[in-house]
Amino acid sequence: GQQVMQIPQYQHVQEGEDFTTYCNSSTTLSNIQWYKQRPGGHPVFLIQLVKSGEVKKQKRLTFQFGEAKKNSSLHITATQTTDVGTYFCAGPGFGNEKLTFGTGTRLTIIP
């Protein structure tokens, strides 16, 4: 079945440093989605990428979808304490009926 892996599993950064998480799928994806889960909370949708090589920005967050549509990355510039949480990528499975989530990257910020 489809597998979606993320690295790293954990990342600790000093406030103000940059952060990047990488997502790799075993199958080609029609789209990739990114979610953020605050500690004790539920996942919340951030963005969806559809096109090969697509790059989208949300303030300090930059999302990329690979040319082969099998990998993606999320980069945060100058992290802030509000960025704390776990970031998940997610992609549709066979037939696009279900959403398979990556293993997640947990970001902690050292003030």
Partner 1 sequence: NAGVTQTPKFQVLKTGQSMTLQCAQDMNHNSMYWYRQDPGMGLRLIYYSASEGTTDKGEVPNGYNVSRLNKREFSLRLESAAPSQTSVYFCASSALGGDTEAFFGQGTRLTVV
Member of 36, 71, 91, 109 binding partner 1 (CB under 8 A): 91
Member of 11, 33, 72, 73 binding partner 1 (CB under 8 A): 33
The Cα 15–Cα 11 span in angstroms is: 12
| Contact call for residue 85 and partner 1 (CB under 8 A) | no
Burial 26-64 (b: 16+ CB within 10 A, else e): eeebebbbbbbeeeeeebeebeebeeeebebeeeebebb
| Contact call for residue 23 and partner 1 (CB under 8 A) | no
Q: In the chain, what's the furthest Cα-to-Cα distance? A: 44
| Contact call for residue 39 and partner 1 (CB under 8 A) | no
Member of 19, 63, 65, 88 binding partner 1 (CB under 8 A): 88
Name residues contacting partner 1, limited to 50-79 (CB under 8 A).
none
The Cα 67–Cα 86 span in angstroms is: 25
The residues of the shown chain that bind partner 1, judged by CB under 8 A, are 1, 6, 9, 30-31, 33, 35, 42-45, 48, 88, 90-93, 95-104
